[in-house]
Amino acid sequence: MSTATAPYGAKLDVSRTPRVPMSRLIKVELRKMTDTRSGFWLMVTMGGVAVIASTIFGIFGHDQDRTFYNFMQFSGAPQGFLLPVLGILLVTQEWSQRTGMVTFALEPHRGRVLWAKVLGALLVGVAAFAIAVAVAFLATTVFGGHDPYRDFGGIDIVKFGILQVTGILQGLAFGLLLLNSAAAIVLYFVVPTVFSILFNVIPALQDSAPWIDFGTAQGPLGDTGNLTGTEWTQLAVTATIWVILPFLAGLWRVLRAEVK
- To the nearest 10°, report the CA torsion of 139, 142, 144, 146: 170
What is the tens place of the pLDDT at every residue in 112-133? Answer: 999 999 999 999 889 888 999 9
**pTM for this model (two decimals):** 0.85
191-228 burial code (b ≥16 CB/10 A, e <16): ebeebbeebeeeeeeeeebbebbbbbbbebbeeeeebe
Confidence (pLDDT) at 15: 62
Confidence (pLDDT) at 44: 86
d(CA 185, CA 83): 11
What is the tens place of the pLDDT at every residue in 195-230? Answer: 888 888 888 888 888 999 898 899 888 887 888 999
**DSSP, res 242:** I
